[in-house]
Amino acid sequence: MAYALKDHDIAHVHDAVFDATGENLSNEEICALVKLLPSSITSVAEEWTYSDTVVRDDIYRFVQDRHGARRVLQGVERSAETGS
């Protein structure tokens, strides 16, 4: 069963992304980003919630290492457009 994001989860992910990149993502963008997070992050989040410091730190590093959450999301859009 997939973990259903709650409003407070979205807020914690939003804050981690904003702190890492300054990007102010919409709730829809946050939900799309969470689907792209590696299982090493989401499995801990499902156990401890997205408010957990370790989870927020991992999300911070994930988006910072990829030069922004929107770049991660745009990479998915480009892959869909090219069929790869």
pTM: 0.87
| pLDDT tens by residue, the chain, 84 residues | 467 899 999 999 999 999 999 999 999 999 999 999 999 999 999 999 999 999 999 999 999 999 999 999 998 656 656 665
Task: Give domain limits for the chain.
Answer: 7-82
CA neighbor of 31 nearest in space, from 63, 59, 9: 9
Chain center to CA of 65: 13
33 by Cβ neighbours in 10 Å (0-12 / 13-18 / 19+) ranks as buried
